[in-house]
Structure 1
Amino acid sequence: MREPLTYDDLEATEGHRSPDAHRTLAESLLEWASVVHPDDEPSTAELLAEAGWHLDLAGDTDAAIAVFRRAAEAEGRPAVPDTRCSIAAVLLASGRPDEARAVADELRRTRPGVTDCTAMAEVFETADDLVQAARWTAIGLARVELATDDELDTGEVEQLLHTRSRIRTAQGLPPD
């Protein structure tokens, strides 16, 4: 059995490398995700999500999407933000906006949290779809309004508000 993984191990895989190096890292992460150690800090979903990013950076869009979907379905603690944000980002970057919107709508129907709404807003902002980006910040604000005080993380709310402000500025709209 392998040694337990820490978040430092996961962080050490981040950064830009050659496509082959990204592919090799993805293979390592997939192998780690296939053998759960009871003392691992990162969850299976988090390992799979990181592998998905490496596959995307290696230029293997379809494999990245498949691994992100595996992460979304993995048992245990989910990756944050929801990996459907990553799927939408990869689809948008590969010129598949209709599929990306379908994935975003799927996430919307699950009553996503504030962090997920912020992430999806940033995905659409990066793709220069400011209408969808603003929509996702509005969905996030609705989640904030429906939450009780003990359910709110002020850092998450601040990030949402910062993202919303940036998007409104890009749209030429005044601050809220």
Structure 2
Amino acid sequence: MRLTQVTTAELDRLEFHAVRSGEHGRIAAQLLDLANRVDAGSEVTRAELFVRAGEQWEIAQEFERACAAYQRAMDDGGPTVVDARALSAGALLQLDERERAYDHLKRLESGPRAGLATHIHVAEVLYAHDDLEEAERWATEGARRFAGGALPAYVRDLFVELLRIRFRIRTDLGLSEDDLDRRLDEE
């Protein structure tokens, strides 16, 4: 039986249950099942369901399963909030598979431009794995891309979050304040 759609409310309910219960693996399996049965007209895309399943597997520290879910999202090719290649890179770093992780990041860079949420994720993952120079580069690239013009409120919030992460990274690197760092005072 195929579902006609999965709503963001249903997705939120499942993820909230995972947080409350700690049943991240069970919720990941449910999300994979939903992804396999969802119709094309769903409010939540198949790829996004695969990504969310991967995130639940990561929380459960099942990084190989997370990588498999992220691969399914990449194979699907549908839109996701955070690019599955970035998420897969993070899971691969947890498995100490640096070469494969950085290959995903290279492909991410050579493809369509990543959104703010993806830049935030990559900067945080690289920072957590002590690659401060690359983390700063990803954060700077994302911040420069979105620095000009007016931004909708939700995009502005992500922009400010990226600026904060970038500032923390730059402070740890001992870099002097620049124009993007000063933007934090304006936001």
Relative to the length of structure 2, the TM-score reads: 0.77
Q: 1:86 aligned to 2:87? A: yes
**Which moves more between the two structures, 3-12 or 79-88?**
3-12
Question: Structure 1 residue aligned with 2:120, among 101, 118, 121?
Answer: 118
Amino acid at match of 1:29: L
How far the C-alpha of 1:40 sits from its partner, in A, is: 3.2
CA distance in 1, matches of 2:77, 2:88: 18
Q: Decide whether the 8 Å contact of 1:30 with 1:48 is kept in 2.
A: yes
Which consecutive aligned stretches of 4+ in structure 1 deviate over 6 angstroms post-superposition? none
CA distance in 1, matches of 2:82, 2:76: 14
CA distance in 2, matches of 1:59, 1:118: 21
The structure in which a higher percent of residues are helix is: 2
Show the 5 A alignment for 1:34-113: 34-37=36-39, 40-76=42-78, 78-113=79-114
Q: Decide whether the 8 Å contact of 1:5 with 1:39 is kept in 2.
A: no
For 1:174, the equivalent position in structure 2 comes to 176
Q: Deviations over 1:50-89 (max 9, x none)?
A: 111222333432221121011123254x111111111111
**Which moves more between the two structures, 34-43 or 89-98?**
34-43
How far the C-alpha of 1:121 sits from its partner, in A, is: 0.9
Q: 1:29 aligned to 2:35? A: no
Q: How many pairs does the alignment contain?
A: 171
RMSD (Å) for aligned C-alpha atoms = 2.6
Show the 5 A alignment for 1:156-175: 156-175=158-177
How far the C-alpha of 1:38 sits from its partner, in A, is: 5.9
Structure 2 portions without partners, runs of 5+: 179-187
Q: Decide whether the 8 Å contact of 2:83 with 2:114 is kept in 1.
A: no
For 1:7, the equivalent position in structure 2 comes to 8
Q: Deviations over 1:111-137 (max 9, x none)?
A: 423412222111111222211101111
| Change in CA separation of 1:17 and 1:131 when aligned onto 2, cut-off 3 Å | farther
How far the C-alpha of 1:39 sits from its partner, in A, is: 5.9
SS in 2 for 1:125: helix
Q: Decide whether the 8 Å contact of 1:45 with 1:74 is kept in 2.
A: yes
| Change in CA separation of 1:75 and 1:93 when aligned onto 2, cut-off 3 Å | closer
How far the C-alpha of 1:103 sits from its partner, in A, is: 1.1
SS in 1 for 2:43: coil
For 2:156, the equivalent position in structure 1 comes to 154
